[in-house]
Amino acid sequence: MPRLAVNGSDLYFRDEGRGEPIIFGHSSAGSGGQWRSAIERLASDYRCLAPDHLGYGRTTPYSGKGSLLEQEVALIDALLNLVDEPCHFVGHSFGGALLTRAAVLQPDRVKSLTVIEPILFHLLESYGRHAEFAEIKAISARAVEFVRRGDSEQAARGFIDYWSGPGAFDTMPAERQTATVNVMAKVGFEWEIAFSPAGASASELATLACPLQLIGGSDTKVPTAAVLQILREIWPAAGYSKISGAGHMAPITHADEVNAIIAGFLASS
């Protein structure tokens, strides 16, 4: 995998294909590898760059010091500098929230933005979606508390089971369970970003003028569905696709459908 040195961190990323560049952002507790099937589909027409965010894959762990958001955005900036032309952004969950903020900061460098259930949970509170906000806030508080107590396994179990269904953690391969447990402290810092309006207030989001595509699953969690509803209000011209039978992890569980939507949107952008 290619590597870039960025402010003392080593950023590892997949770099495949040629054509207009796409930067992908992955979900919490994942890696750029979640986009393998999308890259296989798109690499004949696009240059696909899929980084491992801080603390995932081979990229340097987050130290816990300094702004995580600023450090993550700096890694995206490094990829933008590498390709030196406007990029399509495609992000899921935490990666979607991250790339949305990066797009707000540098709109002239973004050719289009596709987000699959971005965890912009601060919008729930500001739009009066109090029940949905309370649900996801309780999930995050439980996970963070388990990490604080030194029980990252329970934090990981609750995290995975919430997003992927009861018992999902226990059915994961042992090596994947271990990897998830080991990143739960980093996930805790990502929850803080999810509840912060920094760089992604409704007024800031409304400034985005690039082509926009929203994707969600019909069976996703209530808070993420509510975020998508709010984003459709903020971005009335955005495309929207709902994948039947999919939950929050649609880019993995329903990869063919998600990749087809992404490919069609990019072709029209």
Domain boundaries, the chain: 3-127+198-268, 130-190
Measured in whole angstroms, the distance separating CA 124 from the mean position of its chain's CA atoms is: 17
pLDDT tens per residue, range 7-52? 999 999 999 999 999 999 999 999 999 999 999 999 999 999 999 9
Mean pLDDT of 81-103: 97
Task: Determine which helix (DSSP H) or strand (DSSP E) holds 50, and give its type and residue range.
Answer: strand 46-51
Residue 176 pLDDT: 95
**Tokens of residue 247, six digits:** 């939950």
Query: At 139, is the pLDDT very low, low, confident or very high (cuts 50, 70, 90)?
Result: very high
Model confidence at 248: pLDDT above 90: yes
In this structure, are residues 179 and 170 in contact, taking their beta carbons and an 8 Å threshold?
Answer: no
**Tokens of residue 264, six digits:** 């069609």
3-class DSSP state of 168: helix
Q: Percent of the chain scored above 90 by pLDDT?
A: 98
pLDDT tens per residue, range 154-201? 999 999 999 999 999 999 999 999 999 999 999 999 999 999 999 999
> 9-16 and 3-6 as β-strands: parallel, antiparallel, unpaired?
antiparallel
**Tokens of residue 123, six digits:** 């919008």
Model confidence at 1: pLDDT above 90: no
What is the third-level CATH fold of 3-127+198-268? Rossmann fold (3.40.50)
